[in-house]
Structure 1
Amino acid sequence: MASRFGHAPSMRGWRLKEGGSGAAGRVGARIVMSVEIWLEAERDQLVLWVPVALACGITAWLLLADVAAWTVFLLLAGGTALAGLAMPGGGRAARAVAVFAGLAALGCGLIWARAERVAAPVLARTTVATFEARVVKVDPLPARALVRVVLVPDAGTGATLPPRIRVNIADADVPARLAPGARIALRARLMPPADAAVPGGYSFARTAWFQGLGATGKALPGIRVVQAAPVTRDGLAGVRARMSAHIQARLPGAAGGFATALATGDQGALPLEDAEAMRRSGLAHLLSVSGLHVTAVVAATMLIVLRLLALSPWAALRLPLPLIAAAGGAGMGVAYTLLTGAEVPTIRSCVAAMLVLAGIAIGREAVTLRLVAAGALFVLLLWPEAVAGASFQLSFAAVASIVAFAEWPVARRLSAPSEAGLGWRWGRALLMLLATGIVVEIALMPIALYHFHKAGLYGAAANIVAIPLTTFVIMPAEAVALVLDAVGLGRPVWWIAGLATDALLWLARAVAAAPGSVQALPAMPDGAYAAMVAGGLWIALWRTWVRRLGLVPLVLGAVWALATPAPDLLVTGDGRHLALRGDDVSLALLRPRAGDYVRSLLGENAGVSDEAIEFESVAGGACSADLCVADIVRGGRTWRLLATRSAYLVEIGEMNRACGAADIVVSDRYLPRTCRPRWLRADRGLLARTGGLAIDLERGAVRTVRQAGDAHPWVPAVVVRKRYGRRGAGRFGQRAAVWSGGTARPRDSERRSGRVISNDVERPGR
């Protein structure tokens, strides 16, 4: 076998040495030879790992805590790349390692440089400010009865504000002539962009940093337009707004919201309950303008241009009609991308469509994994932070799984042309569609569970109906109706589009309401998710039998995620909200008036889909107006929880006695140094450093939102309150009581063995 590859490009100058190194050396040489033979067989697939290597470097920067760790990673990756280039023999394995490590270093450097390049001031604390500002962007959200605007505050208006902020305005307070380019005067309650409330939650602070947003908030009544927007500032934003309003006027209600999302990318008009039904039924991808929508627009444009030009015999005989149709499709694809706001999934899909059209123009196979890799590489080079977003991951996972499955021999046989009867051909097509839907659901489920902590189980079946209905009925009908509206003849076509859209929404609601339609899972460990992603990529990107080895990390990651216990306690970063998970998989909330967002957030991260109950309803729980206590049996012992839930101070003697009798104390305010629980005191001082907490009492483990010493630019610097004093800040601000094996230690041992809490809390004696 070695001689068969002896003249291959990757094997030149490489020789298997049998002697001089003993048995171990010969075994090692044969392993290296086997790897070289395998990589030679997979040489066409190696380029697909280029965006993966880049994404690994970007992810490393996001996960590692500080400048020292980032620098070490760059040095290690760079050193590995140089070592691979310096290895004797010049084999393909050494070059592959060198290129992968070099690209990982490049990815780390790219995201680091971009984080520094977009740096902008961030509001330090919550404030109420009166100021004037220029309107940059206006996003109506009719389903939530508000308008979201991005503002650039004027300098010298009496308030020191970040250069770019985002504010929500209630519909009743929206002034006339509010448009991009206008200047408005307003009073608003502003706050810094919020970090993840609990471990595993969504960090808007990171997203806001790369968007240049330094504050978010809510405008108070009394907004007025100081200067109207110039007419020349209308542009695509104005076209998008007018088209959205026009569609919603033709199709009121949920149907209009869905149709608006397809045409302009604006999802704000879709009612929240219908948006949730789309997510639970596995149809949420239809709301985000991506590959399906861009492909439909480009293909429809090419078909129309080709058929119209073919009507002319002169054009059919003398002009390259496929090239002209491809150019028309490319132009329409770019226009559609710009019209829908040019979000990352749309840009990726547009780039992929351009590459497909280029492949058609030069006579090459258009839809391949190389095309997907090129689109991913384009996005990562321009927006490296996108790798952490659910949109990027879901989009590329769906497309890559479809293309990879289509390249499998079994799928090729199913989709190959056949001279069989019409029924057999339709049956094969339906089977191929069902199999593709199942593959996509399997590929997307880990991503959905990691980011949203729940995934639809019937999505494959629902998509068999929803995708053709959207692609071949709703989108064409909507496009024709918009064109006919120019001459006042679009109403009948809008009726057809409305019927089809109502049918799609009915399907989403029915699937979402079906028993067992959604699988909920607590926040999974990063390592489990990384193992599943690595296994999926290994299976999708290789072509030889080695791809089967990807099942090992995939299965291990899935078992790890499923075996991860749900936290017993969830505490939000501000300390105001606490969720206690009961033995009957119920969730009890500290504050009964918590809003829907908080209830959904805590329920998803705890892996509970049922409605939360009041704290007093849990076994062993009791509350007064100011304090709540609960006795929780876990790990062979009873834990006493004490939490404050009002803004009123408790008499210090009473508070000290309650703290001394408790194992865990949670509060949204600073507690006195004399409040000394047996195990953990999570007050405002501690939570300001750690962020939200997820506590597993069975194992005595605590996970936090923030890492110790996290130096990412969107992580706020925490100021220690002076009244704590140095000793108090050290013990109660940065250090928590010690736990080991689920048993609280005495205070003397606690004083000697305190550890700093991090995402994976280090236990004493480790």
Structure 2
Amino acid sequence: MPFAPRGRGWRLGSAVDRIEGWLEAERDQLPLWLPVMLGIGIAGWFVLPDRPSWTALIAAALGLALGGVAIGLARRAGFALLVGGLAIAGGCALAWAKAEWVAAPVLTRPVLAAFDADVERVQQLAAKDSVRVILCPVAAPTLPPRIRLNIANADAPAGLARGDRLRLRARLVPPPSASLPGGYDFAITAWFQQLGATGKAFAPVERLSAAPDGGSLRERIGKHIRDALPAKAAGIAVALVTGDQGAVSEADADAMRRSGLAHLLSVSGLHITAAVGAAMLLTLRLLALSPTLALRWPLMLIAAGVGAVTGIAYTFVSGAEIPTIRSCIAALLVLAGLVIGREALTLRLVAAGALVVLLIWPEALIGPSFQLSFAAVVAIIALHEHPRMRAFVAAREEGPLVRLGRNMAALLLSGIAVELALAPIALFHFHREGLYGALANIVAIPVTTFIVMPLEVLALLFDVVGLGAPFWWATGKAIALLLSIAHTAGHAPGAVALLPGVPRGAFALIVAGGLWICLWRTRLRWLGALPFAAGAVWALAMPAPDLLVTGDGRHLALRGGDGSYALLRPKAKDFVRGMLSEAAGIDEDLADLDDLPGAACTADICLATIRRAGREWRLLATRSAYLAPITAMNRACAAADIVVSDRRLPRTCRPHWLKLDLPMLTRTGGVSLVFGDAIRITNISGDEHPWTGRAVRRQLAR
């Protein structure tokens, strides 16, 4: 017995020494985990529901930091725990503070309002035949200070631009939350953009005064491009230059998403890199024509400066959205590395860029744009930093055909790595992922970078002297080629993988495993394959929902015996149909509940019987405002397992399992059901995030 404690101490000491040795071998990789720890704290604030939970997370992180101090700051493990704990606590506190700092009045109920407002931003929405504007109401104390409205093109004043003052009437509603579990929650975006309401304007919309400069440079460039090209090509051309995707038709946008080319429409890393690279190359070539300048002037420094100015200017012209600013920051860091003679693109540079973005915009972490862009860059750099990949792409004496084949193979491997990194993120946010993206990007990226964008720039430049028409014609043909690639890849058999939903826990495991593999360098990196595989299996094992109910109770989709889904209201709009199809993980049109075997519907009510889990389930749903006799309604409820309604049902309506009427759905939000197994709801019980209705009402009460 006297030797037992010593034996345990020896084993503990040996384990600590092994960890210390491993961290010493990975010492160059440790800084890469700083933005990851900061991100964990930010994500924790968004995932956890209330103030006690946020406080507990900060306290636990500070405890982790104190544990590092106890181990000893002279040890790498102790210092890593200290920094990691402080970063997690700081991330949670940062997100909490940012949410409080941007707080602005939010509408709590729908209203009809007539008001004057200044136009802050204009975006064309070709798919909806309307224009979307951000307005700042004037002398309207009962309205939020910033509002987002859609105005039909037929009702919008001609040449509507930023700086105009309008007089209009509109129906305003609070920023909508997710209608279904796992859906897009606009209320979060609106909160951090300080948008207090959204809605639709009614005719007439009167312009009281026009902007003296005809709108922003971005708007003027967009209008010029739309005037120079046919509508189909103009939408893509405008998106490439200004980042405004509103003019892209729904069919083309869907093809770009299905083919894995949607990233080309968002001004981000590819576009900034092309602009900065072209500016640097042109500057170097022109200055090198002079022997004096070539020998005596620091041409690389000058070219880097020109590239930096070009990148910053492009960022502002394209609207200075967060993805563009993030890419610009990364480009500036790359240029700084080139100037001081360091390797241009490393994981440390990516980590620095992520750290800057998260410190300024912590809310960006939960958005797909941040996750997709950084995941793609990390996957590419991690792959090319591997010794075998370095050896494969290293320059050598070989014929041009062999060199071309090697470069194409390297590009394909990079595409596959990117697809593996992006697929879980796309499936988590959008429930779909294009499977042919690696192949489509091999052709589409060079076409966009070396043909479409240069032609578009030349067309804009030559338009200054009225000679841009030939370049616009060539630009239209190049965009037609790009769209042909997108439609071919996006509508090929098996082009899209679909999942009804990825649980947060599964997504967290996949992300943790992927980061572990990419950020470490020793053999222990491959331990990340375990959580990655576990998360993937968990996500793939999720059963398809049997019933989807939107948060307002107006729409539901019921899964039939053949796996297809039927919709309660035959006249539901395309937006609703698309949202329900996405949540169900299907890529086909929804049928009508009236036509589902086992269903009987009238104009006011539907009854459906579905066999699941070894028994029959009876669904009762209302679909009109007509009130049935209470005795008949009670009998129907008593015979049903689930009742769904967009209005309040009497207390005497008592189904066998679940009553989803308006009061219940107000508490739960949208609902996803697997009969006899699982229920997922949109609203977290006790959620105290400031964009929730409960938190907004509490603020107004104070």
- Fold-level similarity (TM above 0.5): yes
> What does 1:77-476 align with in structure 2 at a 5 Å threshold?
77-88=61-72, 90-156=74-140, 160-176=142-158, 178-231=160-213, 238-476=216-454
Q: CA deviation at 1:325?
A: 0.6
Work out which of the residue numbers 644, 651, 654 in structure 1 matches 2:622.
644
C-alpha contact (below 8 Å) 1:165/1:213 kept by paired residues: yes
Work out which of the residue numbers 557, 560, 583 in structure 2 matches 1:582.
560
**Partner amino acid for 2:81?**
V
C-alpha contact (below 8 Å) 2:73/2:79 kept by paired residues: no
- Name the CA distance, whole Å, in 2 between partners of 1:432 and 1:598: 42
User: 1:693 aligned to 2:671?
Assistant: yes
Q: CA deviation at 1:515?
A: 0.6
C-alpha contact (below 8 Å) 1:348/1:379 kept by paired residues: yes
Distance 1:177 1:474, change over 3 A: closer
Work out which of the residue numbers 37, 40, 44 in structure 1 matches 2:21.
37
Aligned to 1:675: 653
C-alpha contact (below 8 Å) 1:688/1:718 kept by paired residues: no
Distance 1:531 1:397, change over 3 A: same
- Name the CA distance, whole Å, in 2 between partners of 1:328 and 1:713: 43
- Name the CA distance, whole Å, in 1 between partners of 2:179 and 2:73: 53
Secondary structure of the 1:216 match is strand
- Name the CA distance, whole Å, in 1 between partners of 2:453 and 2:441: 16
- Name the CA distance, whole Å, in 2 between partners of 1:147 and 1:364: 46
Distance 1:89 1:439, change over 3 A: closer
Secondary structure of the 1:483 match is helix
- Name the CA distance, whole Å, in 1 between partners of 2:420 and 2:331: 25
**Partner amino acid for 2:123?**
D
- Name the CA distance, whole Å, in 2 between partners of 1:676 and 1:272: 43
Aligned to 1:509: 487
> Tell me, which stretches of 5 or more residues in structure 2 are unaligned?
698-702
Q: Sequence identity, in percent?
A: 58
User: 1:625 aligned to 2:603?
Assistant: yes
- Name the CA distance, whole Å, in 2 between partners of 1:625 and 1:445: 42
Q: CA deviation at 1:226?
A: 2.1
What RMSD over aligned residues (CA atoms) do the two structures have, in Å? 1.6
- Residue by residue over 1:267-298, the C-alpha shift from the partner in whole angstroms, topping out at 9 and shown as x without a partner, is 11111100000000000010111111100100
Work out which of the residue numbers 476, 495, 500 in structure 1 matches 2:473.
495
- Name the CA distance, whole Å, in 2 between partners of 1:568 and 1:97: 45
User: 1:604 aligned to 2:582?
Assistant: yes
C-alpha contact (below 8 Å) 1:662/1:677 kept by paired residues: yes
**Partner amino acid for 2:7?**
A
C-alpha contact (below 8 Å) 1:369/1:403 kept by paired residues: yes
Secondary structure of the 2:694 match is coil
Q: Which deviates more, 340-349 or 528-537?
A: 340-349
Q: CA deviation at 1:573?
A: 0.3
**Partner amino acid for 1:717?**
R
- Name the CA distance, whole Å, in 2 between partners of 1:429 and 1:693: 49
Secondary structure of the 2:163 match is coil
- Residue by residue over 1:461-506, the C-alpha shift from the partner in whole angstroms, topping out at 9 and shown as x without a partner, is 0010001111111111111111111112222222222211101101
- Residue by residue over 1:417-442, the C-alpha shift from the partner in whole angstroms, topping out at 9 and shown as x without a partner, is 11111111111101000100010011
User: 1:703 aligned to 2:685?
Assistant: no
> What does 1:530-569 align with in structure 2 at a 5 Å threshold?
530-569=508-547
- Name the CA distance, whole Å, in 1 between partners of 2:483 and 2:3: 71
- Name the CA distance, whole Å, in 2 between partners of 1:718 and 1:107: 22
Secondary structure of the 1:125 match is coil
C-alpha contact (below 8 Å) 1:535/1:552 kept by paired residues: yes
- Name the CA distance, whole Å, in 2 between partners of 1:705 and 1:78: 31
- Residue by residue over 1:314-361, the C-alpha shift from the partner in whole angstroms, topping out at 9 and shown as x without a partner, is 211211111101100110000001110111111111111111111111
RCO greater where, 1 or 2, for CA within 8 Å and sep 6 or more?
2
**Partner amino acid for 1:714?**
W
C-alpha contact (below 8 Å) 2:544/2:585 kept by paired residues: yes
Aligned to 1:7: none
C-alpha contact (below 8 Å) 1:577/1:591 kept by paired residues: yes
- Residue by residue over 1:132-176, the C-alpha shift from the partner in whole angstroms, topping out at 9 and shown as x without a partner, is 1122111122342111111111224xx721111100000000124
- TM-score relative to the length of structure 1: 0.89
- Name the CA distance, whole Å, in 2 between partners of 1:717 and 1:353: 42
C-alpha contact (below 8 Å) 1:414/1:429 kept by paired residues: no
**Partner amino acid for 2:135?**
L
- Name the CA distance, whole Å, in 1 between partners of 2:461 and 2:326: 27
Q: CA deviation at 1:409?
A: 1.3
**Partner amino acid for 1:46?**
L
- Name the CA distance, whole Å, in 1 between partners of 2:534 and 2:561: 27
C-alpha contact (below 8 Å) 1:659/1:665 kept by paired residues: yes
- Name the CA distance, whole Å, in 2 between partners of 1:378 and 1:662: 55
**Partner amino acid for 2:175?**
P
**Partner amino acid for 1:47?**
P
Aligned to 1:573: 551
Q: Which deviates more, 387-396 or 483-492?
A: 483-492
C-alpha contact (below 8 Å) 2:190/2:196 kept by paired residues: yes
Q: CA deviation at 1:385?
A: 0.4
Q: CA deviation at 1:89?
A: 7.2
- Residue by residue over 1:94-119, the C-alpha shift from the partner in whole angstroms, topping out at 9 and shown as x without a partner, is 22122111101100001100100111
- Name the CA distance, whole Å, in 2 between partners of 1:405 and 1:249: 43
- Name the CA distance, whole Å, in 2 between partners of 1:144 and 1:177: 18
- Name the CA distance, whole Å, in 1 between partners of 2:212 and 2:300: 42
Task: Figure out how many residues of one structure are paired with residues of the other and give that number.
Answer: 696
> Tell me, which stretches of 5 or more residues in structure 1 are unaligned?
1-17, 721-766
- Name the CA distance, whole Å, in 2 between partners of 1:89 and 1:358: 32
Work out which of the residue numbers 28, 48, 52 in structure 2 matches 1:64.
48
C-alpha contact (below 8 Å) 1:186/1:223 kept by paired residues: yes
C-alpha contact (below 8 Å) 1:588/1:614 kept by paired residues: yes
- TM-score relative to the length of structure 2: 0.97
C-alpha contact (below 8 Å) 2:62/2:85 kept by paired residues: yes
**Partner amino acid for 1:704?**
I
**Partner amino acid for 1:110?**
L
C-alpha contact (below 8 Å) 1:267/1:287 kept by paired residues: yes
- Name the CA distance, whole Å, in 2 between partners of 1:358 and 1:613: 57
C-alpha contact (below 8 Å) 1:195/1:204 kept by paired residues: yes
- Name the CA distance, whole Å, in 1 between partners of 2:331 and 2:257: 26
Secondary structure of the 1:112 match is helix
- Name the CA distance, whole Å, in 1 between partners of 2:398 and 2:161: 59
**Partner amino acid for 1:404?**
A
- Name the CA distance, whole Å, in 2 between partners of 1:403 and 1:591: 49
